[in-house]
Amino acid sequence: MDEDRLKALLPRARAGDAEAFADLYRAFSRRVFGLCRHLLGSTESAEDATSEVFLRAQRAMSSYDSALPFSRWLLAIAANHCVDLLRRRRLETQLFAPEEAELPEPAGPGPSPLTAVLAGEKAAVVRSAIERLPERYRAPLVLRYYGDLSYDEIGATLRLPRSQVATLIFRAKKELRRTLAAGRKELIV
């Protein structure tokens, strides 16, 4: 969505115009879904989270500060919601026996055009490697590269100091490189 169209929609959405908010949903839902998908690890959980994020955004629209880019504001809502879900999931795992715990749903392959098979396979390998990262590494990495949040914004979302965010992202990239290199070696052998 171009900047002028966004600037025209935001005041209307803030005033409660449902059609304006629907336009915002159409413009940003794929990006929010992608962030939720990477953080939560399943399509179904991401779909539910995306719906909840837009409900929360609609309720909070009157408090949106136009000095902040709308996409960052919306992605921060998404990141906070997903982090809350991950915390709840971890708590449930600790409270219940392993057989009763809610396990992450396996990721289903998404449809890809025939012309993009190789790119799709590479993306799937990287996505799979990211999903295998421990949550403490995965969340900051996804927020940085898929959510396009700054280290300070990630720190605020995860309630961590900026220096720890930088360390976690560094370690996540190191672990990701190791995992991807090991995967390449398996393909060669």
- Domain ranges in the chain are 1-108, 110-189
pLDDT at 101: 44
Nearest Cα to Cα of residue 39 among 135, 106, 182:
135
3-class DSSP state of 184: helix
- Per-residue pLDDT of the chain (189 residues), as tens digits, is 788 899 999 999 999 899 999 999 999 999 999 999 988 888 999 999 999 999 999 999 988 888 888 988 999 899 889 988 888 877 666 665 454 445 555 544 554 454 445 556 677 777 788 888 888 888 888 888 877 788 988 888 888 899 999 999 999 999 988 888 887 665 444
Structure tokens at 37: 């998908």
Are 18 and 8 in contact by the 8 Å Cβ rule? The answer is: no
Measured between alpha carbons, how far is 160 from 184 in angstroms, rounded to an integer?
34
Nearest Cα to Cα of residue 102 among 114, 115, 113, 90:
90
Choosing among 3.90.700.10, 3.30.750.210, 1.10.1740.10, 3.40.640.10, the CATH entry for 1-108 is: 1.10.1740.10
- Give me the residue label for tokens 């396009």: 148
pLDDT at 57: 94
3-class DSSP state of 115: helix
Q: According to CATH, what is the number of the domain 110-189?
A: 1.10.10.10
Half-sphere exposure of 186 (CA within 13 A, CB side): 7
Measured between alpha carbons, how far is 89 from 34 in angstroms, rounded to an integer?
20
Structure tokens at 107: 């990721």
pLDDT at 51: 95
Are 68 and 111 in contact by the 8 Å Cβ rule? The answer is: no
